Amino acid sequence: MFVDPTAHHITTDKGFRMAKGNVCARFGRYYWECKITSGIPKRRKSEAQPQEEARGHVRMGWARREATLDGPVGYDPYSYGIRDVAGQKVYMSRPKDFFPPGEDIREGDVIGLEINLPSETLHRKVIEGHYNPAVDLHDDEKPGLEASDFIRDRLSIHFKALYFEQVEYHSQKEVEELMNPSPVIASTGGGPSEDPHPNHPSPALRTLPHSSIKVYKNGKLMGTPFTDLLGFLPLASKPPADKTNIQVGGRDGLDDGMLGYYPAVSVFRGGAAEVNFGPRFWYPPPELEQNDGEEKILRPISERFDEQIVEDIVYDIIDEVDFWVQDGMPVTGADYKRKVDGSGARGGGYGLDNE
């Protein structure tokens, strides 16, 4: 994969590979754009002019942490993609018609991708098995970050410098079986007995009500190729937790705050694209300028970057305070007063005096 210094342009001279953004959507509605800079050439202007051959291919969409990078968007159940050839939608490597006949995606075209995810309150109801379609007809909760118990442990690695490895999430057997059902496994009752839905017996195959992906081409809404997206909160997503796992925090229920759907682009043999995460878009949808009270209806995914930094700072403070308490230094109003006005002395242990 080749990425320019701005991390906005991407290409490859190999087969399909995928690149994902560094922040994800967990709830609410978000939008980003992908411009084709090398791919299927524009149509010839006249019959006498020969049609140029494709200079690579590009696919774009949304992908989860578990989605493989060694394949195109839409390769497995963990990502949803749009194909440049005929504007087809792709999921689990199965292309299906989506764009109107005669429409496709060519060089210079801008594809807008919008994702709509329910609130974390409804999401957790689904994953924890408490969702009742007769009661939860609407998502009444305002989209927002819950006070989730994020576990952001990192495995420290000393090699010429100090590195911290992020806990990874791997694909699960039920989801893999959904993509490639085995007659042998199905006959023994080991495979999925029903299609994904909100109340599926397996949390990994539970879908999110009110979730969808919309696609725009050069500012025109082409439709909604995907609905009822798979949920991603634990236990729908799991890091490896067996005895051979050496990663810190590899256990059931781990949520490091970076589970969700990421902007994703795939390129193939010279295909190239430029991404635009906002806030200034080439073809901004009208809803980007609209508010529902104080909340924006549709937001650029770039806003998640600032929020991610704020979340990191907040949870750094929480982790540090937790460490003080465990280290025998209770955090009280008196301690804070002594720190501010200098009255009294603080005891040993790691605290603000060491900052």
Domains and CATH numbers, the chain: 2-147+197-238+255-301 (2.60.120.920)
Q: What is the pLDDT of residue 165?
A: 81
As a whole number of angstroms, the distance between CA 316 and CA 311 comes to 8
Dihedrals φ, ψ of 120, to 5°? Answer: -65, -25
Give 221-244 as a DSSP string. Answer: EEEEEEESPBP-STTSSB---STT
Mean pLDDT by 10 residues, the chain (355 residues): 94 95 95 97 72 90 96 96 97 96 95 96 94 85 65 79 85 89 54 83 96 97 98 91 55 84 97 96 88 78 91 83 78 52 44 37
Number of Cα atoms under 13 Å in the Cβ half of residue 44? 9
Q: Helices marked H in the chain — which ranges?
A: 120-127, 173-179, 183-187, 303-326, 333-341
Largest CA distance in the chain: 90
CA distances from 26 to 123, 156, 231, 252, 264 (A): 10, 27, 10, 19, 15
Q: What is the pLDDT of residue 145?
A: 57
Give 112-140 as a DSSP string. Answer: EEEEEE--HHHHHHHHTT---TTT-SS--
User: Residues 61, 264: contact at Cβ < 8 Å?
Assistant: yes
Q: What is the pLDDT of residue 124?
A: 93
As a whole number of angstroms, the distance between CA 331 and CA 322 comes to 9
Q: What is the pLDDT of residue 338?
A: 52
Q: What is the pLDDT of residue 184?
A: 55
- Please work out, in degrees rounded to the nearest 5, the angle formed at the alpha carbon of residue 204 by the alpha carbons of 130 and 82: 115
Judging by beta carbons within 10 Å of its beta carbon (0-12, 13-18, 19+), is residue 272 exposed, middle or buried? buried
As a whole number of angstroms, the distance between CA 235 and CA 169 comes to 11
Dihedrals φ, ψ of 227, to 5°? Answer: -135, 170
User: Residues 151, 256: contact at Cβ < 8 Å?
Assistant: yes
SS3 8: coil
As a whole number of angstroms, the distance between CA 213 and CA 98 comes to 13
CA distances from 58 to 8, 224, 289 (A): 14, 19, 29
SS3 92: coil
Q: What is the pLDDT of residue 279?
A: 93
If you search the block for the tokens 């009255």, which residue do you land on?
343
